[in-house]
A and B are shown apart, each in its own frame.
Chain A
Amino acid sequence: MIDWFSVPLEHAFMQHAFIAIILVGIMCGATGVFVTLRGLAFMGDALSHAVFPGVVIAFLIGGNVVIGALIAGTLVSLSIGVISQNQKLSGDTAIGVLFAGAFALGIALISAQRTYTRDLASFLLGSILGVSRSDLYLTGAVAAIVVGAIGLFRRELTIVAFDPTFARATGINVWLIDQLFLVLLSLAIVISLQTVGNILVLAMLVTPAATARLLTDRLRWMVALSSAIGALSGVIGLYLSFHWNIASGASVVLVATVAFLLVYLFSPRTGIVTATIRQRRHFPHPEDDRFSSAETMPS
C-alpha cells in the first residue's frame, strides 16, 4: 500500500510532475472561481486556443514558447476587450471571432512543419512528464504572481463581478479590472498548457470552482476549497495515471469531474441524493447558525 504512494515519487520526472500539478491546481482553482462567477468559461476556452499562434511562432523562431503564448494571450484578451466595447457586438461574439481566427493562424503555421502531428498532440494534450527544473521555477513564479494579484485585488474583483454599477459608482475602473483579470487568466492558462494541455485546461479552471461553489456560500472559502480540490485532483490523477498507465491530463480531469459529481449528488447542504433522503425522513430543514459571528463580536 505504501509502495503505491512511494514508488512514483522515486522518479525525478514524477517529482517534477507532482509539484507542477499542485501549483497548477492551486492557481487554476483560485482563478477559476472568478471565471465561473463571471460566466467566463467560454472566454477561458477561447484564450486557451488563442495562445496557440504565439506558441507556434515562438517554436518556429526558436524562442521561449511560454513567452510567445503570453504575448498572444494578452494581445487577444486586450483585443476582445476593445472589440466588445462596440455597442453592436456582444462580448461572446468578439470572443468567437478572435479565438477561431487565432487558432486557425496557429494551425496554418504549424501545418507547414514536418513534425506537424507530434507537435500538435503535445500542445493539445500537454506533456507533464517532461517538466524540467527550469519549467518548475517558471510555473512557481507565475503561480505566485497570479494568486498574489488575485489576493491584492480581491475586493475589486468581487465587487465588479457582483455589482458592476456599484463598482463604477465607487470609483473602480471596471474596464481596467476586467483587463487585469483577463491577463491573469491568460497567464494561468499558458502555464497550465504544458501540464494538462490545451483542451483540458478549461476543466482545471471550471470544475474545481464549480465543486467548491456547491460546498460553500462564502467567496473566501470558495477560493480556498477550489484551490485545494484542484491540487488534490492533480495529485490523485497523477497517481492513477502512473499506476494504470493512462494519459496524465485526462486522468487529472477525470478525478476532478468525479469529485464534482460526488459533491453534486451527496453534498450535505445541496446534494440531490442528500436532499431526497432528508425529505423522506421528514427531517426538518437544518437551521444554519450563521449569525454567531455577528453576536459574538467584541464591542
Chain B
Amino acid sequence: MRDLIENPDASRLACEGLSVHFGQRSALDNVSAGLHSGQITSLLGPNGAGKSTLLKVLAGLLAPSHGRVVFGEQAILKPNPAIVYVPQRTSVDWTFPVSVLDVVLMAARRRRSRLLPFGVPDRRAALDALAEVRMDHLAGVQIGQLSGGQQQRVFLARALLQDGAALLLDEPFAGVDTPTKELLISIFRGLAERGKTVICATHDLAQAADFSDQILLLNRTVVAHGAPIETMTAANLRATFGGQAILPVEQLGAAR
C-alpha cells in the first residue's frame, strides 16, 4: 500500500511492441499499451481479434514472439502471484467432486504448508470472498450444480482470495444474467477504487462504455486506447469491427 502511495503506478501493467504468432498466423501485431492501476480497462474487439491472447500474454501464460510485458518495474516472463488471471469458464471439469468452498480455497494453496490442512483462518478468508460475490450460502454445494452466473461468481471469489494487484478477466459476462453483471461490475469498481488494475475482455460495447475508465479497441493491433467518450467513435468502431458492425454504432455515436 505504501508503494502505491509513493508511486501510484507501481502496479501499472504495460506491454511494449507485443507480437504473437501461432505458426504462420499472426494473433497480435505490435501491441503497445499502458494499463493504469486504479482503473477498469475494457478490451473490445471482434472474435479472433486477440483479446484472449493478449490477456494470456499479460498474465505470463504465453510467451510473445516479440516485445515484452512490464509490471511496475518488473518484466513478466512467467505467471506472477500479483497478476490474477480469470480464464473463460470452459476450461474446467464441472463433474469434479469439489465444493464451492474447495474451489475458492485453491487460491490459498501458496499460504499453507503442504503438510497441514487448511485451517479456520483460510476458511474464513474463503467464505469472506464468497460473501463478497453473495455465494457464501452455497459454499457446500458441488461446483457443477451451480448456474453459469453462479459459477462465474465463484471464480471471481477465488480470484479475490488470490489478492493480486492486477486482475485479468476473460469474458466475465458470458452467459450471465443482468443482476449478476451488475454485481460483478460493482465488485470491479470496488477493486479499482482500492488501487487495483482491472482488465476485462468483453463483447458488450454499450455496457463497457458505461462502466469502464478506459477502452482498448483491439483488432490484432491497437485501434484506439483511451476514455470511452474519445475512443468509441463510429470511425474507430468501424475500424475495429469492420463490416460485422451489428453494433449500436449510431447509439454510441449519439451518446457522445
Q: Give A contacts to B, CB under 8 Å.
A: 37, 152-153, 155-156, 158-159, 161-166, 168-171, 213, 216-219, 222, 290-294, 297-299
Q: Is the CB of A170 within 8 A of B140?
A: no
- 15 CB-based A-B contacts, threshold 8 Å: A152-B115, A155-B114, A161-B96, A163-B91, A163-B106, A165-B85, A169-B59, A170-B107, A213-B97, A218-B98, A219-B96, A222-B97, A290-B99, A293-B140, A297-B127
Interface string of B79-120 (1 = CB under 8 A from A): 101001101000111001111011100110110001100001
Judge whether B187 is part of the interface by a CB distance below 8 angstroms: no
Q: A162-B98, A294-B136, A297-B124 are in contact. List 12 more A-B contacts (CB 8 A).
A: A155-B114, A161-B93, A162-B93, A166-B87, A166-B158, A170-B79, A171-B110, A217-B99, A218-B102, A222-B97, A294-B101, A298-B120
Q: Which residue of A lies closest to B108 (CB)?
A: A155
Q: Quick check: B114 and A162 within 8 Å, CB to CB?
A: no
A176 to chain B, nearest CB (A): 14
- A219:B102 contact, CB within 8 angstroms: yes
Q: Which residues of B contact A293 (CB under 8 A)?
A: 101, 139-140
Complex CA–CA separation, A294 to B141 (angstroms): 11
Q: Is the CB of B106 within 8 A of A164?
A: no
Interface residues, chain B, with chain A CB atoms under 8 Å away: 59, 61, 78-79, 81, 84-85, 87, 91-93, 96-99, 101-103, 106-107, 109-110, 114-115, 120, 123-124, 127, 136-142, 158, 162
Distance A19 CA – B78 CA, assembled complex (angstroms): 47
A291 nearest in chain B by CB position: B140
Q: How far is the CA of A217 from the CA of B144 in the complex (A)?
A: 10
Q: Please give, as numbers and ranges, the residues of chain A lying within 8 Å of B107 by CB-CB distance.
A: 170
CB distance from A219 to the nearest CB of B (A): 5
> Are the C-beta atoms of A169 and B101 separated by less than 8 Å?
no
Quick one: which of B103, B124, B136, B140 contacts A290, CB cutoff 8 A?
A: B140
Which residues of the other chain, A, contact B141 by a CB distance below 8 angstroms? Answer: 290
Chain B residue at minimal CB-CB distance from A292: B140
Residue of A nearest to B101 (CB): A294
Minimum distance in angstroms from B157 CB to a CB of chain A? 13
Q: What are the residues of chain A within 8 A of B110 when measuring CB–CB?
A: 170-171
The answer to whether B162 and A170 have CB atoms under 8 Å apart is yes
Contact among B92, B109, B120, B137 for A170, CB-based, below 8 A? B109
Shortest CB distance B80–A (Å): 8
**Min CB–CB distance B255 → chain A (angstroms):** 36
Give CA–CA (A99, B50) in the complex, Å: 39
For B162, the chain A residues whose CB sits under 8 A away are 170
In the complex the two chains form, is A162's CB within 8 Å of B140's CB? Answer: no
- Which A residues are in CB contact (< 8 Å) with B138? 291
Going nearest first, the 9 A-B pairs with the smallest beta carbon separation are A290-B140, A217-B142, A294-B139, A169-B85, A165-B91, A165-B87, A162-B96, A155-B109, A163-B92
Q: CB distance B98 to A219 under 8 Å?
A: yes
Tell me the complex Cα distance, A152–B112, Å.
12
CA of A288 to CA of B156, assembled, Å: 25
- Check A291 against B137 for contact (C-beta < 8 Å): yes
Query: Across the interface, which residues of B come within 8 angstroms of A171, CB to CB?
Result: 78-79, 81, 110
Assembly CA distance A161 to B96 (angstroms): 9
A278 to B121, CA, bound (A): 40
Q: Among A162, A213, A292, which residue has the most Cβ atoms of chain B within 10 A?
A: A162
Q: Are A294 and B97 in contact (CB under 8 A)?
A: no
Chain B residue nearest to A299 in the complex (CB): B124
